[in-house]
Amino acid sequence: MLHVAPIPNAAIEQGPNDITAEMYWLKEVNLIYFVEGQGTFVKNYMQNLEETDKPTALKQLGKFVQHVIESLELVQAKRDSNNDAAVSVAPPVRPSELVLFPPREFAGDILEPRRAQLAKFWSEAQIEAKERGHRELCQAYLMDEAVSTGLDNESYKTSFNDG
């Protein structure tokens, strides 16, 4: 088992080869124990590395581990607070479908029922930015012929950003 901890405060002494990222701290000794626990092949491979290459290999492995862990923190499960399936998960939607909702309906029927779920991952400012972005998309659709033509010609093969 690999032990990764939140970044320590200044009172805890870090080793010179410990790996820190945005949110986590991985002690070098814990990483070595983890590598050695992966079996004889991996243990022998690490032991056969040149002494100058070992710190680099461990540092790269540690950074990879931390990247995976920090990325998992960004996963947004479609679950409620009781770990049951969310009752109303927002379906995938194309921009051409979004402009069919007036801003009042988008805010009231789409965002508002999901606000508690969204608030777990987004700040209030980010939620408001999505609402503002929808209003701007609707306005551009009505006022800009290039936008309305592009969205009207969109199909399931069109990527979201191209739409």
pLDDT tens sequence across 92-104: 677 888 888 899 9
Question: Residue 149: pLDDT above 80?
Answer: yes
pLDDT tens sequence across 67-93: 888 887 776 666 666 667 666 555 567
95 and 150 share one domain: yes
- Tell whether pTM > 0.95: no
Q: In this structure, what token pair is assigned to residue 28?
A: 């070098």
Overall domain count for the chain: 2
Q: How confident is the model at residue 49, as a pLDDT?
A: 92
20 in helix, strand or coil? Answer: strand
d(CA 20, CA 10): 13
- Domain carrying residue 62: 5-73
113 and 154 share one domain: yes
143 and 125 share one domain: yes
85 and 159 share one domain: yes
85 and 145 share one domain: yes
d(CA 15, CA 38): 23
Q: Which of 73, 95, 116 marks a domain boundary?
A: 73
pLDDT range class, residue 134, cuts 50, 70, 90: very high
69 and 84 share one domain: no
